[in-house]
């Protein structure tokens, strides 16, 4: 078997000399591209350390999650490693002072983000003394035995995923031991130009290995595998040396973009696919970037927070590209100027690599925890975008095996339901499709637009639903209140009537007699008038009806009133009947209130249900807005 597979590899390698894309059969995931790497540019110059710029700009959010709150005031003197911003409100990572100095301002500043917006930042004027607080996290240097203990340290150290995603690392760690079967160390670094992980592995392999051991120990991991692309031979050597006496395996992997993607590297190293809409942790895999592991080592062993990182400053526009261990908050432009630009940097710098990086609106932005590369590539003439010829290059290059060409077609036509059906949300935006498109169509931009539009539509739908629920709730409440009011009034009326009925008969009989007399008089009057005027006026009719109602209480009045009613017996009878009924109703007011009570409780139940639904909807809406905010801000 071993022989066969090595023969197959040798054959494919031979074929790939004639047909380069045959190389796609040498790894586990679909597609992939082979760009020009230009890695030698920054590797040919020595690593720079100890750069302390005059000012450091530290955005209050350098991670995925919510913004931290400044714990210092303008004018405060801060020491290296001192925690200057934190929050308890939600997912976040605290921020520490990278060196000693004075806080000169807390104001919105530009940060490396595609939005190009200013975000609240702490500005420190450094004093060059680099005075520090040692072991600020107060650790004893022992490896934590439980995931929770490790999570605590990692959280306090402000460590986030340093490969680019910036997800706070503590939140990625599971709470229980043994949930993670395999810890994968991501040293693939597949983006062109970037060499900071390579440099880190060459210079600090032992620290990364110790970091991996700490995590493995705390989580009870069975297997630790490190994947390094085979174009980093020096890194593989130094890493293998550092792993010599440990259980960690070093796996050189094929040099292909996007090997460093989480899903891709898991496929390559373990041969398993992470199911859609699941995380790696669901299949028992935890992946960590080499830089993150080193930061964990420093936090656990020395109690040092994350205040600096390896950054590549490279690009075709620079004379002397280099790698640096830069303090967080150092300006992009300052670092680029140190690399001797070939031409003035009047073009946008890029944070990250050429395939997934972010072009900057403003070049004077700080290095943050997720910045792995400052790229200075002078702009090239823009190619005309031609129509899609459906050649399928994009499909062959897609590591997720999507149909980019059809996604593009439907995105362009705003057929977003189709776009969703074609699984646009599984797109990792790696840029392979755009890279190979002979028509130079900016495919990824179309997918980004489609994704955000679909999210927008969903949010609007949720809002509409919420509004509808609110409206229904309101109508319901009005109806309920009306019913309650009516019931109350009826009850009151009934009570009054009962009272009047029970009052001493003497008074009432006198009054009744008087009334009867008057009624008789009045009754005569209409009967007299009817002779002259055959039709009763409406008013008279009403009066007669009212009279009848009052007289009906006593049986005697009935006979009295019957006389004038002879003329229109049917109508009168009906009116009387109706009046009786009304009266009965009033009498049984108690019954009616009893009936109303269960109805009320029913509606109250419904109202409670609705209220709960509304609350849930509100919560959802809040969540989505929060999410969006966090997306905006990262």
Partner 1 sequence: MMAPISSPFTHNNNSVRKVMLNVQLAALPALFTHIYFFGFGITIQWTLAMFTLIAVETLMLKLRSRPVWPYLTDFSGLITVTGLVFCIPPEAPWWIIVTGITFAIIFGKHLYGGLGYNPFNPAMLGFAFLLISFPYEMTQWTLPTQVSGHFLSFMDSFNLIFTGHIHTIPLDQITGATPLDEVKTALSTGVPVPVTLEGESFNRFRIPYGWAAVNIAFFIGGIWMLMSRSIRWQYPAGFLITMIILSATFNWFDPENYAPVRFHLLTGGLMLAAFFIITDPVTSSTTPLGRFIYASGIAVLVYVIRNWGGFPEGIAFAVLIMNMFVPFIDQYTQPRVVGYRK
- What b-and-e string marks burial along 345-375, b requiring 16 or more CB atoms within 10 Å of the CB? beebbbbbbbbbbbbbebbebbbbbbbbbbb
**In the block, residue with structure tokens 């994009």:** 394
Strand 223-229 versus strand 249-253 pairing type: parallel
19 counts as binding partner 1 under rule CB under 8 A = yes
* H helix and E strand count, the chain: 19, 16
- Name the segment binding partner 1 (CB under 8 A); options: 42-50, 86-94, 358-366, 456-464: 358-366
Q: Tell me which of 101, 341, 399, 564 binds partner 1, using CB under 8 A.
A: 399
Choice from 4, 18, 138, 538 touching partner 1 (CB under 8 A): 18
Taking the C-alpha atoms of residue 334 and residue 530, their distance in angstroms, rounded to an integer, is: 109
Q: Is 379 in the site for partner 1 (CB under 8 A)?
A: yes
Give the interface size with partner 1 as a residue count (CB under 8 A). 68
Nearer Cβ to partner 1 (77/118): 118
The binding track of 99-118 with respect to partner 1, each residue x by CB under 8 A or -, is ---------------x----
Could you say which of 238, 358, 371, 551 contacts partner 1 (CB under 8 A)?
A: 358
Instruction: Tell me the closest approach of the beta carbon of residue 33 to partner 1, in angstroms.
Output: 7
Kindly provide the residue ranges of all beta strands, DSSP E only, lying in 239-354, ordered along the sequence. 249-253, 285-289, 308-314, 322-327, 350-351
Q: Which stretch binds partner 1 (CB under 8 A): 437-445, 453-461, 501-509, 536-544?
A: 437-445
Give the range of 428-436, 530-538, 554-562, 597-605 binding partner 1 by CB under 8 A: 428-436
Residue with smaller CB distance to partner 1, 192 or 305:
192
Of 204-212, 241-249, 393-401, 575-583, the segment contacting partner 1 by CB under 8 A is 393-401
Give the one residue of 107, 392, 542, 619 binding partner 1; rule: CB under 8 A.
392
CB atoms within 10 A of CB 188: 29
Stretch that binds partner 1, among 364-372, 402-410, 543-551, 596-604 (CB under 8 A): 402-410
Instruction: Find, among 209, 190, 200, 350, the residue nearest to 263 by Cα.
Output: 190
Beta strands in 487-593 (DSSP E): none
Among 219, 444, 576, 589, binds partner 1 (CB under 8 A): 444
Residue 429 interacts with partner 1 (CB under 8 A)?
A: yes
Which position among 161, 211, 354, 366 is part of the footprint of partner 1 (CB under 8 A)?
354
Instruction: State the number of CA atoms in the 13 A half-sphere of 601 facing the CB.
Output: 5
**Contact status: 372 vs partner 1 (CB under 8 A):** no
CB atoms within 10 A of CB 110: 21
Contact mark string toward partner 1, 489..508, x via CB under 8 A:
--------------------
606 binds partner 1, rule: CB under 8 A:
no
**3-state per-residue secondary structure call for 195-208:** CHHHHHHHHHHHHH
Q: Which of 121, 314, 370, 439 binds partner 1 (CB under 8 A)?
A: 439
Question: Judged by CB under 8 A, which stretch of 145-153, 227-235, 328-336, 419-427 contacts partner 1?
Answer: 419-427
State the pairing for strand pair 69-70/83-86: antiparallel
Single out the residue of 388, 487, 523, 536 in contact with partner 1 (rule: CB under 8 A). 388
b/e burial code for range 2-29 (CB count within 10 A of at least 16 → b):
eeeeeeeeeeeeeebeeeeeebbebbbb
What the block records as the tokens of 71 is: 């714990």
Tell which residue, 197, 246, 244, 252, has the closest CA to residue 221. 246
Site string for partner 1, 28-57 (x = CB under 8 A): -xx--x-xx---------------------
End-to-end CA distance of the chain: 48
Quote the CA–CA distance of 162 and 292 in Å, as a whole number: 6
Residue 81 or 263 having the CB closest to partner 1: 263
Near partner 1 in 154-193, by CB under 8 A = 192
Q: What helix, strand, coil percent values describe the chain, rounded to 5?
A: 50, 15, 35
Region binding partner 1 by CB under 8 A among candidate stretches 161-169, 214-222, 441-449, 473-481:
441-449
Residue 34 neighbours by CB under 8 Å, 6+ apart: 20, 23, 255, 256, 257
419 near partner 1, rule: CB under 8 A: no
Contact flag: residue 316 with partner 1 (CB under 8 A)? no
579 in contact with partner 1 (CB under 8 A): no
Output phi, psi for 474, to 5 deg. Answer: -65, -45
Residue 434 lies near partner 1 (rule: CB under 8 A): yes
Asked whether the beta carbons of 548 and 575 are under 8 A apart, the reply is: yes
Residues of the shown chain interacting with partner 1 in the complex, contacts defined by CB under 8 A:
18-19, 21, 29-30, 33, 35-36, 114, 192, 263, 267, 273-278, 346-348, 350, 352, 354-361, 363, 377, 379, 383-384, 386-393, 395, 399-403, 405-406, 422-423, 426, 429, 431, 434-440, 442, 444-445, 448
């Amino acid at each position: 078997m071993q022989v066969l597979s090595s023969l197959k590899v040798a054959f494919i390698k031979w074929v790939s000399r004639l047909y380069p894309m045959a190389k796609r059969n040498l790894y586990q995931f679909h597609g992939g591209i082979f760009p020009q790497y230009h890695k030698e540019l920054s590797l040919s110059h020595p690593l720079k350390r100890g750069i302390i710029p005059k000012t450091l700009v530290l955005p209050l959010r350098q991670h995925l999650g919510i913004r931290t709150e400044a714990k210092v005031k303008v004018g405060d003197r801060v020491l290296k490693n001192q925690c200057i911003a934190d929050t308890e409100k939600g997912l976040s990572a605290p921020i520490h002072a990278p060196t000693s100095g004075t806080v000169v301002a807390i104001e919105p500043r530009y940060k490396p983000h595609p939005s190009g917006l200013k975000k609240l930042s702490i500005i420190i004027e450094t004093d060059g003394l680099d005075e520090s607080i040692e072991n600020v996290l107060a650790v004893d240097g022992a490896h934590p035995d439980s995931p929770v203990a490790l999570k605590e340290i990692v959280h306090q150290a402000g460590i986030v995923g340093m490969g680019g995603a910036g997800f706070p690392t503590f939140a990625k760690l599971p709470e229980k031991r043994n949930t993670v079967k395999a810890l994968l160390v991501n040293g693939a670094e597949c983006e062109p130009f970037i060499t900071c992980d390579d440099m880190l592995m060459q210079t600090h392999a032992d620290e990364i290995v110790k970091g991996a051991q700490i995590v493995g120990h705390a989580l009870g991991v069975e297997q630790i595998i490190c994947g390094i692309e085979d174009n980093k031979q020096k890194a593989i050597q130094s890493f293998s040396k550092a792993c010599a006496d440990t259980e960690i395996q070093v796996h050189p992997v094929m040099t292909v973009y996007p090997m460093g993607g989480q899903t891709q590297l898991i496929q390559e190293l373990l041969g398993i696919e992470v199911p859609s809409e699941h995380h790696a942790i669901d299949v028992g895999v935890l992946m960590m970037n080499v830089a993150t592991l080193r930061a964990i080592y420093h936090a656990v062993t020395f109690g040092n927070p994350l205040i600096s990182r390896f950054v590549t400053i490279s690009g075709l526009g620079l004379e002397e590209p280099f790698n640096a261990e830069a303090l967080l908050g150092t300006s992009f432009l300052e670092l680029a100027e140190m690399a001797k630009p070939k031409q003035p940097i009047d073009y946008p710098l890029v944070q990250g690599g050429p395939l997934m990086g972010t072009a900057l609106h403003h070049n004077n932005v700080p290095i943050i925890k997720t910045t792995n590369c400052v790229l200075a590539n002078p702009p090239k003439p823009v190619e005309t975008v031609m129509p899609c010829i459906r050649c399928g290059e994009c499909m062959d290059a897609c590591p997720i095996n999507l149909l980019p060409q059809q996604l593009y077609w439907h995105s362009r036509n705003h057929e977003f339901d189709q776009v969703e059906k074609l699984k646009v949300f599984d797109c990792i935006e790696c840029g392979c499709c755009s890279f190979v498109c002979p028509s130079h169509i900016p495919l990824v931009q179309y997918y980004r637009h489609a994704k955000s539009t679909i999210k927008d539509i969903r949010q609007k739908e949720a809002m509409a639903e919420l509004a509808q629920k609110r409206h229904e709730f309101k109508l319901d409440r009005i109806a309920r209140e009306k019913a309650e009011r009516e019931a109350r009034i009826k009850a009151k009326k009934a009570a009054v009537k009962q009272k009047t009925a029970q009052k001493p008969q003497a008074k009432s009989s006198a009054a009744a007699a008087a009334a009867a007399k008057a009624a008789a008089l009045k009754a005569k009057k209409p009967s007299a008038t009817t002779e002259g005027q055959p039709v009763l006026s409406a008013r008279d009719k009403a009066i007669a009806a009212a009279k009848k109602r009052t007289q009906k209480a006593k049986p005697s009045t009935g006979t009295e009133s019957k006389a004038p009613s002879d003329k229109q017996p049917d109508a009168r009878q009906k009116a009387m009947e109706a009046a009786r009924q009304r009266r009965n109703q009033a009498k049984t007011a108690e019954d009616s209130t009893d009936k109303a009570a269960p109805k009320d409780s029913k509606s109250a139940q419904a109202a409670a249900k609705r209220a709960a639904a509304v609350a849930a909807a509100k919560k959802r809406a809040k969540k989505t807005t929060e999410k969006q905010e966090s997306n905006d801000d990262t």
